[in-house]
Amino acid sequence: MPRIAIQAKGLVKWFGEGEARTAALKKVDLEAYFGEMVYIVGPSGSGKTTLLSVLSGILKPNEGSVEVEDVDIWRLDADSLADFRLAKIGFVFQDFHLFPRLTTAENAAIPLILKEKDWDESIREAAGYLEIVGLKGRAGIPPVKLSGGEQQRVAIARAMISKPDILIMDEPTASLDGDTGNAILSFVRKNVLDENRCVVVVTHDSRIYEFATRILQMEDGRLTPTTEKSAK
């Protein structure tokens, strides 16, 4: 029986007030398991990103609860929630959000630095992770000198360095060409996903669906029945 990594119940989220109020999530239930690479797919405006933000402790829902590894994250105070994200969740953003004035190693080391780990040790560890994501010898250069795919690998190294149990990827291929996108997701599926980790990917890029273990369709704020996929 696979262990539950994320369990969301009755999630409701709306934006705006009065007549301008728009419901982004309408009673969403979701379970994600360790060892899974869950895709949340759907058209723009369907509520994918809102759901991802609520699941990862970024955006508070109006109703419902989210348990990550049995911790009801929306009952935590702001500092505890920040600490929880830092310890348990790794983020790969659509636009990478790397600091252009830092080296790739310094960028990748940020979660460790936020955890107050020794600077030099953090940089050494980051250089190791950059090797794992295929960026050996690139630790000392700024990310602006890397290609889009390489920058996404730096972002993955940054997300992985704190050894999170949950990896959140928001439109990871949006800024990449098809081949690079495939290579990145293939890398994540083969090297990042394991039985103690859950990867949640929000995307509308059908070219990378093949790397999912399960695909959840989102439409108009609701999740539609699950599509199970075979292991790749």
Partner 1 sequence: MKGTLKLAFKLLVNDTAKFTALLMGITFAVFLMMFVTSMFVGVLNHASATVINIGSTIWVMDPAVQTVANTVGMPDYVLDAVRSMQGVKYAVPLYSGGGLAKLSDGSYQSVSIIGLDDTSLLGRPELVEGKIEDIYAQSGFIAVRDAEFSKLGNPHIGSEFELNDNRGVIVGIAKVNTSGLYGTPTLYTTYERAAQYLPNPRYTISYVLVEPKSLSDVQRIKQQVQALGYLALTKEEFMQRTADFFVYKTGGGTNMLIMVLISFTVGLSISGQTFYTFILENLERFGALKAIGARSRDLVAMILFQATFASFTGYGLGVGLSVLSIWLARARLPSYAAMLSFGNLAIGFVMVAIIAGISSYVGIRRVLRIDPFEIFRG
Per CB under 8 A, residues contacting partner 1 are 49, 52-53, 56, 58-59, 78-79, 82-87, 89, 91, 93-95, 97-99, 101-102, 106, 110-114, 116-119, 122, 158, 170
Contact (CB, 8 A) for 130 and 104: yes
Terminal-residue alpha carbon distance, the chain: 20
Structure tokens at 2: 């696979």
Shortest spacing between CB 142 and partner 1, in angstroms:
8
Q: Considering the complex, state which of residue 95 and residue 210 has its C-beta at the smaller distance from partner 1.
A: 95
CA dist 14 and 61 (Å) reads 8
Decide the pairing of beta strands 37-41 and 71-72: unpaired
Shortest spacing between CB 168 and partner 1, in angstroms:
9
Q: Considering the complex, state which of residue 210 and residue 220 has its C-beta at the smaller distance from partner 1.
A: 220
Q: Considering the complex, state which of residue 45 and residue 134 has its C-beta at the smaller distance from partner 1.
A: 45
Shortest spacing between CB 141 and partner 1, in angstroms:
13
Sheet containing 166-170: give its strands across: 89-92, 166-170, 198-203, 37-41, 214-219, 222-228
Q: Considering the complex, state which of residue 116 and residue 228 has its C-beta at the smaller distance from partner 1.
A: 116
Residue 208's contacts (CB-CB under 8 Å, 6 or more residues apart) are 172, 173, 181, 182, 185, 201
Shortest spacing between CB 150 and partner 1, in angstroms:
18
